[in-house]
Amino acid sequence: MTHPTIIASESTKAETRHFVASPAAAVPGSCRGFGVHRFLSVTVMLLVSCLLVTVTGCQMTRRTTFAAHLPNQHSVRTKHFVIQSDVPIDAQDPLVKELESLQETVRTTLQLPEQRDPVVVYLFSDEVTYRFYMQSTWKDLPARRAYFVGTPRELAVYSFRSPRLQEDLRHEFTHGILHACLDTVPLWLDEGLAEYFEIRGCESGESHPMHVAELRRAMEEGWNPSLYKLEVTTDFRNLTQRDYAEAWAWVHFLMHTKPQAREVLLTYISSLSKTSTPKRLQPDLEKVMPEYFPTARAHMEKLQASPSTVQLTSPPTPASPFLFP
């Protein structure tokens, strides 16, 4: 990977999206993350020289020391990822088991090649310490609960202990797995797959309640899905919450309708391990499934009629004003 890739999680579930910026638009501390669902991710391109800025920490109170350094007191290493934490963690921790299971699910479901690099998860003990580190290191980053940052040095996920940690990590960790196995991932597919695997039970067709609700509102307004529009969108600033919902819906449609649709997606994903300039997926889909558009729309309408069993947690308390003026 030539340029760092950054993906983030929003601080409110109702508004979470990820951004992608070109190197020219990047500044020290720039990242993608804006929100469609708790943490929708996007890819932000930063210059490597702008990414890593070390700052001196300071003590705010007698009880809590805020320092611009990464968690390093405890660590767990597996074949595919490393977790570094400031709170005790071991190989039997439910979080470790969750990520091990997710890694296997993503790789086998998408038939990905062997993972080339480990994903490093930096787990801060609390939100304030995490925010302080992120703002000290990348001063212009927007406030997000989690980030995926890919550089030539490592594929890293940053987050903190919270009731929604599992949700945030499933999304960002999926980005890490994709970028550890493939040479490139188009924006719409990167986000669509992360949203897909964010939900437990996705392999059996479980839906994403927030995206289903967004699609319902869209269709009531006369909206129609457009895979072409998503595929030609390469600037995260042009993405909307509806685009994230649609990206998830296209992935769900391709994975859970006709076998030829699933095969088109898996073949396309396989090609991403061999090129850094991928072609569009729509022409291949149209070739094997000329009726793909009405079928996809019907699938999205059907999703609205099928209640999800997924229960998403409520939004967290807003960040402190002194952190985000």
Domain boundaries, the chain: 5-56+66-184, 195-305
Q: Is the pLDDT of residue 210 over 90?
A: yes
pLDDT of residue 5: 62
Amino acid letter for position 203: E
The answer to whether the predicted template modeling score (pTM) of the entire model surpasses 0.85 is no
Q: Is the pLDDT of residue 144 over 90?
A: no
Q: For 292-304, how does the pLDDT look when each residue is reduced to its tens digit (9 = 90+)?
A: 999 999 999 999 8
In degrees, to the nearest 5, what angle opens at C-alpha 114 toward C-alphas 280 and 244? 40
- Per-residue pLDDT averaged across 211-219, rounded? 95
- Per-residue pLDDT averaged across 181-204, rounded? 93
- Per-residue pLDDT averaged across 208-218, rounded? 95
- Which is it for strands 119-124 and 146-150: parallel, antiparallel or unpaired? unpaired
C-alpha to C-alpha distance for 224 and 218, rounded to whole angstroms: 8
C-alpha to C-alpha distance for 34 and 24, rounded to whole angstroms: 19
Q: What is the mean pLDDT of the chain?
A: 78
Provide CB contacts within 8 A for 31, sequence distance 6+. Answer: 6, 7, 8, 19, 44, 46, 138, 141, 142, 144, 147, 149
Q: Is the pLDDT of residue 12 over 80?
A: no
